[in-house]
Amino acid sequence: VYIMLHKPAGVTSTVSDPHARQTVLDLVQVPQRVFPVGRLDRDTEGLLLLTNDGDFMQRLTHPSHGIRKTYIVSTDRELTPTELASLRRGIVIEGRKVETEDVRVLAPGATHLCIHEGRKHIVRLLFTLLGHRVKRLVRVSVGPLTLGNLALGKWRQLSPGEVAALKRSGHS
């Protein structure tokens, strides 16, 4: 089973929540037991995949495969040219450089960027280190798959072609 969900903010990317908060499985109703492929933090919205295929999950989440994840980041102020250059060069967090690509300003306070890893809160940390407060964070793509016009809180099954494209994405 391969599912794309447009996760709303305020929903946890876990199978269950000990604090009884809403989880992604409360939004996706299928008879099979599925698991989130990676995570989006509770305050982040956007494209989240769910599956019951462990090999598929490993392929998409392990950093060695370099699956590209694209985000739109809304912040409290516009990036300066120096901050934009820092993001493009990559920023060291917890002793490891976060490699970015396709970093561009979309509008004042709105930035598009791609990364190939999924460390906890990594995009938020990048902007926090630059002195920005993230107001909204949306993941708009994973590999070749884009959120498109899938409505917030809605989900759909992936087509066989989309699954195959995801399996081919990144590098081995």
* Catalytically active residues, by annotation: 41
Burial of 103 (0-12, 13-18, 19+ CB in 10 A): buried
SS3 113: strand
Burial of 27 (0-12, 13-18, 19+ CB in 10 A): middle
Secondary structure element (H or E) that encloses residue 25, with its range:
helix 24-27
SS3 114: strand
State how beta strands 69-75 and 110-115 pair: antiparallel
Closest CA to 24 of 16, 150, 121, 55: 16
Closest CA to 11 of 29, 3, 23, 28: 23
How far is it, in rounded angstroms, from Cα 95 to Cα 128?
A: 16
